Structure 1
């Protein structure tokens, strides 16, 4: 297929126009990023959003991979002098990889087979006689007798017939029609059965699958991934089963074209041999691979959705935060960071068992709060979290008696990945003078102030907002994670004068090297005062500037447009718009009440023509003039702050509580309601109707009111329902 044909095919698949697809393809081929296209090239793409552009990108990759594979296959078959016009047409018109590989199968280099050995003995003519099915009378063994040849080690008619049937079995196996039919049967009727490995004599997490059976098409993604893991850990034996008798009849219907042929019984034998020895193992592997791919795709999508919600949590800015990384024997690590996340001071306290030095810890908390004006304590939710929370809650209540007007709260922070960060190269570069153990508490404090800025420093797989993310296809997961992080960072934008190198590296068009150069330039020469200064950074040419500039914010710039999402290429249009409607650009923030009024009800089509821009660009300019420097996370609900503690013993069924969604999975969501154990909001308790996908109801970070419907103190389980 030509590029033009590929574009037309993708346009049909995605319900777009060929022009939109070709435009996206050309931009991507030139190195443009998805966020840049979605925000600044809407006129060229016909208004496609990030998700649509990524679908085009993925389909382009698939079709180009398919075309490359076709070229390789055609070349290989042509070199064998077996490429007919009909076969060439079948290959070039093929639209899926499975069928393409089926067409290639007869010509694919393979190890020496039983069929090859039979051909070497001169038995192919007999196989062709059987395959053609034209002889309707006589004894088939009389035909086989003609191929007895002691020199070729064919000692009898039976041996000749057996050898010929090996060749026929391979033809059955290589039949595209047979494989497609069998593929349909597998997809519709295959049953996956699992059983416990008798050698396993301890309890495992796979007990639900010790005696399990389900149609493959009905398996849930989490079941597929659990079965795969159980098999990989040698806990489960897994088999795929079909109704062989009916399946063989279906294959016979394709292979046997003349019921009167004397070779029908022998063809049936060849079909059975091909099915059991060649077809079933091959298509069983294909089915398992397809199931895994489907489960992987679902798990990756779930992880990506949760990660996006987590990264887009609203920042609790203007807070001086004390971060506590709880522990028992090694002590609770404490760090204080100022409103900008700058590390101020850290220490270790020992209020938890076995030391139980509560009074000493409280003295340290008092000193740090008084010294730095701490107004929020962030406690990691790992080991000793509950004991630490009780100590901090009690401490806050005591302090309030002596400081009645003071703003001081605490919250529990998901510390997943903090230990990974503390031992990372990024952390070592940020805090070279601190031990690894003293860095995790800083991460805990900072991720309250700006989750996005802090969490981008951590391997997303360590953040704990999915299931089986370590089991799925890691290349696909990496691509999805990159897409999510890229999307979130560029949607929010970054402050060029405060952002870390890891955060900057996710900006459209920037590399890690360029990000480090930006930070280095900032540290040696001071803050940036205009977007144009980005051009001075080593590694930033015109194209990289074009891709990145609109996503960077410079609050210190004299030009207020440098602190908006308006691209420098549209500054002239923005200034002209301000002149047209009497907006003082230099004092933009002071005119917020009047800007919206002046720009409401304008004839956008006419104004866009006057400015020589498209309507999408005009909309972007208007939005940012009305809300310069706006953070899209501002409108989201803030985290729940607490000053006292609840224990599971304080809970009762029927009680309504407020909580934060920590994780969303196929069967429901885990909610932090202020006790050590997260409660489970099962999918069946999310609404008064059937819910197909929990993400349609809740997202990571949502603040929800829930009713406690079940309590199991012994097992530490809390059942919840949406109130």
Structure 2
């Protein structure tokens, strides 16, 4: 298993072996990736996850292999050739193909024919005697349940058809032909209703199976599920029928050719084609779903790691028409200062009153940034805010914030506990403001599937998606680190080694004893044992505590080494992060350091990085939020205009960019680079600020096509 995983991932066997050992000892993926690099050769979270996943897949494969071998042995049909073939299988589907002929099935025509004693006749036909007399041979079987020669021949053909359907080589040939040479075709169903013409391109659609893009497969699957389109395959059945005949008869001449050909046609049409088509559809959907999960995971990670807007007083603006725009002001720590509601839009149009309220909030609380939710009435609210800021000549910026999942959070248990006295709609405004101030801390409270950065994410297997998204959340939280004295239960429970119960214990301890003064104090908290402390400590930061190193990503197990390093270079802890420290470390001989301090290079590199940038936020390496002071109207746009925007979503076929319009503009994959690219993720990520050029405007659909070329 270790060799197989190593070959699959192009790693050394020792890396896989050590990683599996660490996992079996109960170590978490983030902990192994950050603090056990010397054992894994510096593998990252994704590589470790893949090793764990392949191990589970291998165990499932071996379990299926054992079960099938046992069942075949019990049936008394396991010979040396079949045993060898099953042991050579690398996929569960291959094992199932070999087991299919021996599997207990519901009563089939072939089974009934066998029960009637016709299997020897089918075997005789399969020998293709040159002087075969089928009438004479079949007469021998006219007895009991078989009342005529024709009935005997038909039963034998049914058995032959079943053998054809169970033949591994034949099934593989049909599948290969469909996948590599066939076409998938869709048609609109006769009485289907598709008012918004969502599936218009699939009303008459045909494409080579091996060229189908994952997002097309997802769209086709959904369209079929909604009874809008029908789906079929087109491939060369005449060729396959001829191939099977040559495969079975080996070009031998016999009076039985026509009879066998009938059995071939029946077996293929009745038993093989439909089954293999279903198998190909399942495979296509599985690949498309996996790609959808990958896209969602990638987008979610970039969204969670968007840089926070620190040290700003922010006003959250949750737009609406009839019920009014809900406002919430938060201070630089995220604490709620004030909530209100204004009615600047139809049907109320109380613009003057709304302006007065907004101005009062901005002046009284020194608001610096307005975060506008991107839902209903978003662009009208943006126009209102832009005009308002310009009219009053305010030093206030605004930005559009995705409010996907805000309503889910607002009605959640966590929101009720945090803001018991606030109505649901005001909680949304608070969430919108906090998403701008600290995206990770706020978005962590929401079910990842409710965050709108996916590609058909609601059509994929729930358990598989949840597992991957939970991994992404855990990875992001631990990359950034958590302030143990301010973090919510929702944030803490994603820290390596912690669960909801231990996260609650930390919050309860804070309430009882006040802020933690050092990491060692974690050991005094209920449900934080030695293993939990080991896994979590390095990711839990303590600001303004008794120990300077507790503010950093250095693990307590390496404090002794860190202090030896301070002494070695002749500097003090208080100089950490200083220019003097950086200059000293630039000239250090790391190989000699490792030798003199008896440490590995991975741990040394991590400590030296912290010494030079001790309090750097991991998210600072990503693009900061785009703040605006003006508004874009579709009517004002012209082909060729160049604009700045924010990437809101990345999918297989392109990226959706917010340029300030009601709907995000699309940059198709063909417009992303002068060179051919395999996927948009090679060029952009969610949250990137990009320069685009307008290349198409559809006033009727209110849509804009954009390009990065010359943007």
- The residue matched to 1:270 in structure 2 has which SS? helix
Counterpart position of 1:3:
none
Q: Which of residues 418, 421, 425 is equivalent to 2:406?
A: 418
1:189 is matched with 181
Does residue 140 (structure 1) correspond to residue 134 (structure 2)? The answer is: yes
Q: Deviations over 1:609-628 (max 9, x none)?
A: 32222100000000011111
Are 2:610 and 1:624 aligned?
yes
Which residue is equivalent to 2:190?
198
**Residues in 2 aligned to 1:292 and 1:650: alpha-carbon distance in whole angstroms:** 42
Is residue 362 of structure 2 the alignment partner of residue 376 of structure 1?
Answer: no
Quote the Cα distance in structure 2 between the aligned partners of 1:94 and 1:520: 53
Query: Alpha-carbon deviations, 1:232-257, whole Å to 9, x = none?
Result: 00111111222111011122222224
SS in 2 for 1:439: helix
Secondary structure of 2:457's counterpart equals coil
8 Å Cα contact 1:177/1:254 also seen in 2: no
Q: Counterpart in 1 of 2:278? A: 285
**In structure 1, which of residues 89, 95, 99 is the aligned counterpart of residue 94 of structure 2?**
99
Q: Does 1:180 align with 2:172?
A: yes
TM superposition shift of 1:710: 2.7
Q: Return the offset for 1:83.
A: 2.0
How far apart, in 1, do the equivalents of 2:56 and 2:463 lie?
A: 14
Match of 1:448 among 436, 443, 458: 436
Superposed counterparts of 1:2-401, under 5 Å: 6-133=1-128, 135-149=129-143, 152-203=144-195, 204-257=197-250, 259-400=252-393
Q: Distance in 1 between matches of 2:548 and 2:102?
A: 66
Q: For the Cα contact (< 8 Å) 1:553–1:629, is it kept in 2?
A: no
When structure 1 is superposed on structure 2, of 387-396 and 156-165 the one drifting more is: 387-396
Contact kept? 1:560, 1:588, Cα under 8 Å: no
Please give the secondary structure, in 1, of the residue aligned with 2:620. Answer: coil
Mapped partners of 1:89, 1:286: distance in 2: 25
Secondary structure, in 3 states, of the residue corresponding to 1:595? helix
Whole-angstrom CA distance in 1 between matches of 2:7 and 2:397: 55
Q: Give the CA deviation at 1:382.
A: 0.9
Deviations 1:388-440 (A, max 9, x none): 1222222222332xxxxx64211111111111111112211221221211110
| Per-residue deviation, residues 307-331 of structure 1 (Å, max 9, x unmatched) | 1111111110101111010101111
CA distance in structure 2 between the aligned counterparts of 1:160 and 1:32, rounded to whole angstroms: 65
* Aligned partner of residue 718 in structure 1, secondary structure: strand
1:590-605 pair list within 5 angstroms: 592-605=578-591
User: 1:102: Cα distance to partner?
Assistant: 0.6
Equivalent residue number for residue 651 of structure 1:
637
Give me the TM-score of the superposition, normalised by structure 1: 0.95
Task: Please list the CA deviations of residues 650-681 of structure 1 after superposition, one character each: whole Å capped at 9, or x if unmatched.
Answer: 33332222111111122221211223332222
CA–CA separation in structure 2 for the residues paired with 1:495 and 1:474: 31
8 A Cα contact 2:193 2:228, kept in partner: no
Give 1:449 deviation, angstroms: 0.5
2:518 is aligned with 1:526? no
After superposition, what is the alpha-carbon deviation per residue over 1:358-381, rounded to whole angstroms, capped at 9, x for unaligned? 222222222222332211111111
Counterpart among 692, 704, 711 of residue 718 in structure 1: 704
Aligned-pair CA distance for 1:295: 0.9
| Aligned equivalent of 1:509 | 497
1:664 aligns with 2:650: yes
Count of residues paired in the alignment: 708
SS in 2 for 1:470: helix
Q: CA deviation at 1:47?
A: 1.7
Give the corresponding residue for 1:694. Answer: 680
1:679 aligns to 2:688 (yes or no): no
Cα shift at 1:202: 4.8
SS at 2:618 equivalent: coil
d(CA) in 1 for partners of 2:48 and 2:571?
35
Bigger mean CA deviation after superposition, 386-395 or 243-252: 386-395
Query: In structure 1, how many angstroms separate the alpha carbons of the residues matched to 2:247 and 2:279?
Result: 21
User: Contact 1:573–1:612 at 8 Å: present in 2 too?
Assistant: no
Residues 115-143 of structure 1 show CA distances to partners (whole Å, capped at 9, x for unaligned) of 1111111111111212233x221412211
1:582 aligns with 2:570: yes
Residue among 581, 597, 612 paired with 2:598: 612
Matches of 2:276 and 2:18 in 1, distance apart?
39
Is the 1:309–1:699 contact (alpha carbons within 8 Å) kept by the matching residues of 2?
A: yes
* C-alpha displacement of 1:258: 5.9
